[in-house]
Amino acid sequence: MSNYRSINKMLKEDDSYRNMLPHERFMRLGADSLTDAELLAIIIRTGTSEKTPMEIGNSIMSMCDRYGKGISGIRHLSMEDLLSIKGIGEVKAVKLMCIAELSNRIARSRARSTLDFRNPETVADYYMEKMCNFQREHVVLACLNTQDQLICEYEISVGTVKSASLSPREIFIHAVRNRAVKIIILHNHPSGDPTPSFADMDITEQIRDAGLILDIRLMDHIIIGDHRYYSFKENNNL
């Protein structure tokens, strides 16, 4: 407690110390001059008798670094992770998770403006911010009409850190039901490496061949990694 009081005394008496605080640095120099930990300290706003907001911000960054992604690692943190940090209660944890989700939505909103289902890069960009943060494999089906416009999308399955169930039968039940003319399959690799496995290549062939029989074309199968992707279409593997 004495340490906390001494900090408060410094804040009142020492202008040079006060000018080093994130909020004051923000007001003098702008947001882009602050480190990630300083931005977090401003959001956290209050500390405890043992930790300043800046120290709590550094603790969050240390936890983010477990994922090797800097501040983007905050999107991997669960409520339990955040609550385990001294100085983070439920209100602060919810606020931080909402900020992470807003970041995802802003990124997807920007990607939507250039989204073209005939262009694998724009499709990967659109789904990247959401799918690259999953800790398990997720399979998503995008159903398209004759103009290559999105009719609907479905999360077909959620698996483990290594694999997810990808059933041609399940895919075409949704495609036929929604009168899709074309489909795109997407799934993520939690390892961050989007290189297709032998199983990925085999199931892609099965889906492609089944689509030929049903007259529903598989336009692409895109694997999402850590801000990288692999497109079967781009690599002439369809």
pLDDT single digits (tens) 206-227: 999 999 999 999 999 999 998 8
Of 79, 107, 135, the last residue of a domain is: 107
Same-domain status, 103 and 156: no
Report if residue 238 sits inside a domain.
no
Q: In terms of DSSP H, where are the helices of the chain?
A: 2-13, 15-18, 22-29, 36-44, 53-64, 79-83, 90-112, 120-131, 168-177, 198-214
Mean pLDDT of 194-214: 95
Write the DSSP symbol of residue 3: H
pTM for this model (two decimals) = 0.64
Measure Cα distances from 92 to 51, 78, 126, 178, 226 in Å: 14, 13, 29, 42, 27
List, in sequence order, every residue forming a beta bridge with 188; answer none if it has no partner.
224
Token pair in block for residue 15: 């202008």
Mean pLDDT of 54-62: 90
User: Please, which pLDDT band fits residue 235 given cuts at 50, 70 and 90?
Assistant: very high
Residue 160: give its domain's CATH number.
3.40.140.10
pLDDT at 160: 61
Residue-number span of the structural domain to which 83 is assigned: 2-107
Report if residue 13 sits inside a domain.
yes
Nearest residue to 190 via CA among 231, 141, 133: 133
Report if residue 237 sits inside a domain.
no
Mean pLDDT of 35-42: 90
Question: Model confidence over 121-177: pLDDT tens digits?
Answer: 999 998 987 787 788 899 999 999 999 999 999 999 887 655 567 788 989 999 999
